[in-house]
Structure formats: C-alpha cells, structure tokens
C-alpha cells in the first residue's frame, strides 16, 4: 500500500523556471493538501482541496497554483520559481476535510538557485 | 505571536527517563488537537489525538487545558527510538467545508544511552 506518493523527491531549478510537483494517493481520500516546511517556520498550508473539484488557498498561496486532477491526484505548480520558494514540500491526504489523521507523502526537496 | 508555540529544544534525555513537552495555542476557537512525530528528513506522522479529559497510549500521555490554551505530551520510559521532533498541531474549524491544521515548529527530542 503506497499511501501518498510524491514526485520528484529532489529538484534543483533556476530562478524563473516553472515546474509541477505531483501527488497521488491510493487511500480513496476526499481531501488533499500541499504544505511547505522551512526551518523555524513549521509546516505551512499552501493550498488544499476539501473534495474532488474544489481547491482553496491556505496560509501561503502566493506564487503557486494547484489542480485537483481527479480524486487521487493533486498537483502543485510553480509558474516562475523564486529563491524564496526553496523548501521541502509535503503533500497530504485525509478521509475528509476535518478528519484525522492526515497522511503525508515523503516530501519533495526543492532548491531554487 | 505564533498561533502554536513550542519550545524547540533539543531535549537530551537518557534512556528510561520521563520527558514532557508543552505547547500553547493562541486561538480560542481551536477545536481539536494532536501530536505528530517527525523523524529527521521524513514526513510527519500522527502520534496521538489530544482529548479534553486527557488520554494515554502506552508510554505516551497527552493533556489539554482549554482554559489556559495549553497542550502537553508526556513520554515515560524513553527509548532510543523516541528520538524525533514532536509537532503540536491545532485544528480550527472554519465555516464552510474544510478545516485547517496549524503546526507548531516542533520540539526535538534526543534520547541517549
């Protein structure tokens, strides 16, 4: 049982480049989330999708876009990467928007030069 | 002031010791509370929920004081495998369909021989 799968695991980009982080879950969960984790800041919610077909902004949405492609997949796009977006990105899912636990993928380490 | 505050540690304790972590939250509208565990360079995983009456799971005991907006985690008989960062997490129900988790920055525990 894979749980939440994120790709890629590591990526180095140049400022201004774009890329999409992929996330897929095989637990038939309704809700999915994208977080970033920076030293001394804790995990911060970027965007979330309470259910298929809906997306909403979290705490730090600027510079990102998301797509809930279907119930399984939730992608995060950086249109024009900036050094401030260097971070570890985690995707998570849960049965519903207020349900625990949230199951996390093992993260994408992204460096923007 | 951060919404969820934790002592970053590190707490260095010998194997077999009892250690306690504290967490305070600022939003009195917070509805539910959790402790997550995060190993170095890994994803967060739910350790336990925190209930108003206090709850125990093996060597782990969680307490909630709503009046003081304070959460605690007690680990008895520490094991080397308990070495990790412990994240205090607060869930504030919003109007609408989704709720959002707010993560503390974590308290690092190092258990030594």
Pick the residue from chain B with its C-alpha nearest to A41.
B105
For the residues of A18-71, what is the DSSP string, one character each?
-EEEEEEE-S--SEEEEEEEETTTEEEEEEEESSTT--EE-S--TTEEEEE-SS
Of B8, B91, B98, the CB nearest to A50: B98
CA distance between the termini of chain B: 37
Contacts of B103 in chain A (CB under 8 A): 35, 42-44
Return d(Cα A6, Cα A48) in angstroms, integer.
15
Q: What is the pLDDT of residue B93?
A: 62
- Tell me the nearest-neighbour CA distance from A38 into chain B, angstroms: 9
Q: Are A33 and A105 in contact (CB under 8 A)?
A: no
pLDDT per residue as tens digits for the range B28-70: 887 889 999 999 989 999 999 998 888 999 999 999 999 999 9
Smallest CA–CA separation between A111 and chain B, in Å?
15
Digit-coded pLDDT (tens) for A5-61: 999 999 999 999 999 999 999 999 999 999 999 988 889 999 999 889 999 999 899
pLDDT tens column, A68-94: 999 999 999 999 999 999 999 999 998
- The yes-or-no verdict on residue A64 having pLDDT over 60 is yes
Dihedral (Cα; A93, A96, A97, A98), 10-degree rounding: -110
Question: From the centroid of its chain, how far is CA A87?
Answer: 11
Nearest-angstrom CA–CA distance, A36 and A57: 13
pLDDT at B99 exceeding the cut of 50: yes
Q: Smallest Cβ distance to A45: which of B4, B97, B100?
A: B100
User: Is B20 an 8 Å CB contact of chain A?
Assistant: no
* A80 DSSP 8-state letter: S
pLDDT band at B95 (very low <50, low <70, confident <90, very high): very low
Q: Contact A100/A75 with Cβ under 8 angstroms?
A: no
Rounded Cα gap, residues A68 and A48, in angstroms? 9
CB A113 within 8 A of CB A94: no
Hey, how many other C-beta atoms are within 10 angstroms of the C-beta on B93? 14
Q: Do A90 and B44 touch (CB under 8 A)?
A: yes
Q: Which residue of B has its CA nearest to A103?
A: B45
Are A32 and A92 contacting, i.e. CB atoms less than 8 angstroms apart?
yes
B62 at A interface, C-beta within 8 A: no
**Rg of the Cα trace of chain A?**
13
Residue A110 pLDDT = 97
């Amino acid at each position: 049982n894979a749980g939440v799968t994120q790709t890629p695991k590591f990526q180095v980009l140049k400022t201004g480049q774009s890329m999409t982080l992929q996330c897929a879950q095989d637990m038939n969960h309704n809700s999915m989330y994208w977080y970033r984790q920076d030293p001394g800041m804790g995990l911060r919610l970027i965007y979330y999708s309470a259910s298929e077909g809906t997306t909403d902004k979290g705490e730090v949405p600027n510079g990102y876009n998301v797509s809930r492609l279907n119930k399984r997949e939730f992608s995060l796009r950086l249109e024009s990467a900036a050094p401030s977006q260097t971070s570890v990105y985690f995707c998570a899912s849960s049965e519903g928007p207020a349900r625990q636990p949230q199951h996390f993928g093992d993260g994408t380490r992204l460096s923007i030069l | 002031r951060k919404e969820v505050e934790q002592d970053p540690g590190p707490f260095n304790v010998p194997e077999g010791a009892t250690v306690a972590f504290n967490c305070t939250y600022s939003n009195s509208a917070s509805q539910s509370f959790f402790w997550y565990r995060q190993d170095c360079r890994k994803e967060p995983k739910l350790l336990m929920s925190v209930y108003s009456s206090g709850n125990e799971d093996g060597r782990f005991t969680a307490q909630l004081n709503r009046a003081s907006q304070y959460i605690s985690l007690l680990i008895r008989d520490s094991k080397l495998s308990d070495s990790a960062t412990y994240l205090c997490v607060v869930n504030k129900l919003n109007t609408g369909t989704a709720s959002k988790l707010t993560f503390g920055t974590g308290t690092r525990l190092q258990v030594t021989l």
